[in-house]
Amino acid sequence: MTKPSAARKPGFRCTDCGSLSLRWIGRCPECQAWGTVAEAGATPRRAVAPGPVTRAARPIGELDPDVARARPTGVAELDRVLGGGLVPGSVVLLAGEPGVGKSTLLLEVAHRFAARGGERALIVTGEESTAQVRLRAERTGSIHPGLFIAAENDLGALLTHVDEVHPGLLVVDSVQTISTEASDGAAGGVPQIRAVAAELIAVAKSRGIATVLVGHVTKDGAIAGPRVLEHLVDVVLHFEGDRHSSLRLVRATKNRYGAADEVGCFEMREDGIVGLADPSGLFLSDRTVAVSGTCVTVTLEGRRPLVTEIQALVNPAAGGGSPRRAVSDLDAARVAMLIAVISRHGDVRLAESEVYAATVGGIAAHEPAVDLAILLALYSAARDRPIPSSVCAIGEVSLSGDVRRVGGLDRRLAEAARLGFSTALVPGAHRGEPVSPASSQGIRTVPVATLQDSIAAAANLSSRAAEDRRPVLRPLRSGS
């Protein structure tokens, strides 16, 4: 009697994401969709035999590294994030919220790529008509004979355009709008996104075409579609920005050709999007006289230091009930913790006061290194004692009131000194060694070990004292 093979067991497949399971379940464990698991029939297991290879293996020293050299796009801030530019055959996934400026940025990139000469650029849009893209290109000055535009939603038609144009750069806007008959489901579904992305990646690798895929995001900010999409591509970029601010940030969360902690800064204008090589001035108020409730710090966005102004307002609560706490572009939970710290260790009672805290210019400051600046801004607002405009504060503050060291202090101090700040309150045990009051990077450092030391140092620094130099505070741009 022949024993039945265990490899012939029927399986069940999710119609949304394609994941397999041995038994029926009501909710797919991968995509969390209900009622999408159906019987897929027998799944026979077959042995894999050795087959022909596409290219023989060679010693690593004999390979030509110039094939994978990055080519600059012409957009310096994007090249900074990519690690020098686009690599032929690489696939980049650019994701961001609707209206943040993804299409505008990539139109500028494609225009610069075509204007460089030698190779063409092709943009295939599935969300707009070619006339709409033409109007945007006219507004931003991105018209060039080497830039081709096509509007398609079918993968086969897209590949036909690639065969006819022979581009060196391909932009697909967006991958969720392209579908193929080789896969089930509607456009934008998980099986369609997986099939379309796999085919586009294969074409990019085989023909050496630098490809940029635009991706949608969910309400939670995650990239829409299967998680495997982020694993298949070479670079994953997130385009961030507030609709009420002109500032835009491009962050790399994955990069096979460079650092994954770089950040590019852009400014959205009426005539397009431009890179900001020196954005620190956007995050400082246009003020020459110190006022209470403000303190400047230096944050690190990736490896880039940005001088940021923290503002706080403390006002007596009107009526009964709990006083209001409002935070903008700061970590609300961390600000609440710091309010408790300054009440306990700084002798600043805020239990019956309304507290408001924010940054200038729309920059998000969530790292612990801004703790000291937030506390000094709260102290300044509560005591109505302005902190000198030439002073900045850098440091993390613990629940016990100790000022802890932070990373990248040398880069932070160098940026503050470049913008004209003369004094910096810093942790007293940076790198495990005591910091003495000395000149560092052209700026005088004042080491502080506790919150009490910080408040005492800030109180001793008079805004009316003669300063060696004043901070170079540039005016905010319109819309910032």
pLDDT in tens, the chain (480 residues): 444 444 445 588 887 777 788 888 888 887 777 888 887 765 556 678 888 888 889 999 888 888 888 999 999 999 999 999 999 999 999 999 988 999 999 999 999 999 988 899 999 999 999 999 999 999 999 999 999 999 999 999 999 999 999 999 999 998 999 999 988 778 888 888 989 999 999 999 999 999 999 999 887 778 877 778 898 999 999 998 877 778 899 999 999 998 888 889 998 888 889 998 888 777 777 766 778 999 999 999 888 899 999 999 999 887 767 889 999 999 999 999 999 999 999 999 998 899 999 998 878 899 999 999 999 999 999 999 999 988 999 999 999 999 999 998 989 999 999 888 989 999 986 544 555 555 556 788 999 999 999 999 998 885 444 344 445 444 444 443
Q: Are strands 272-275 and 235-241 parallel, antiparallel or unpaired?
A: unpaired
Residue type at 154?
D
Torsion of CA 410, 414, 415, 416, to 10 degrees: 100
Residue type at 432?
G
Per-residue exposure over 174-204, b if at least 16 CB sit within 10 Å of its own CB, e if not: bbbbbbbeebebebbbbbbbbbbbebbbebb
Helix axes 371-383, 451-460, angle to 10 degrees: 60
Is the backbone peptide bond immediately before 5 cis, with ω within 30 degrees of 0?
Answer: no
What letter does residue 258 receive in the DSSP assignment? S
Handedness of CA 435, 439, 441, 444 (dihedral sign): positive
User: In three state form, how does the secondary structure of 273-301 look?
Assistant: EEECCCHHHHHCCCCCCCCCCEEEEEEEE
Give the residue among 152, 172, 17, 151 at the shortest CA–CA distance from 91.
Answer: 172
Give the residue among 241, 102, 239 at the shortest CA–CA distance from 172.
Answer: 102
Give the residue among 316, 332, 315 at the shortest CA–CA distance from 374.
Answer: 332
Tokens representing 56 are 């023989």
DSSP string, 442-476: TEEEEEESBHHHHHHHHHHS-TTS--S-----PPP
Can you say whether residue 208 is alpha, beta or left, with left for phi > 0 and alpha for psi between -120 and 50 degrees? left
Residue 183 neighbours by CB under 8 Å, 6+ apart: 191, 192, 194, 195, 196
Tell me how far apart the alpha carbons of residues 313 and 315 are, in angstroms, rounded to a whole number.
6
Give the residue among 165, 132, 136 at the shortest CA–CA distance from 148.
Answer: 165
pTM higher than 0.75: yes
Q: Are 169 and 209 in contact (CB under 8 A)?
A: yes
Q: Is 159 exposed, middle or buried (0-12, 13-18, 19+ CB in 10 A)?
A: middle
Q: Are 266 and 274 in contact (CB under 8 A)?
A: yes
Q: Are strands 304-316 and 353-359 parallel, antiparallel or unpaired?
A: antiparallel
Residue 310 neighbours by CB under 8 Å, 6+ apart: 294, 295, 296, 297, 330, 357, 358, 359, 365, 370, 373, 374, 377
HSE-CB for 437 with a 13 A CA cutoff: 7
Handedness of CA 250, 253, 256, 257 (dihedral sign): positive
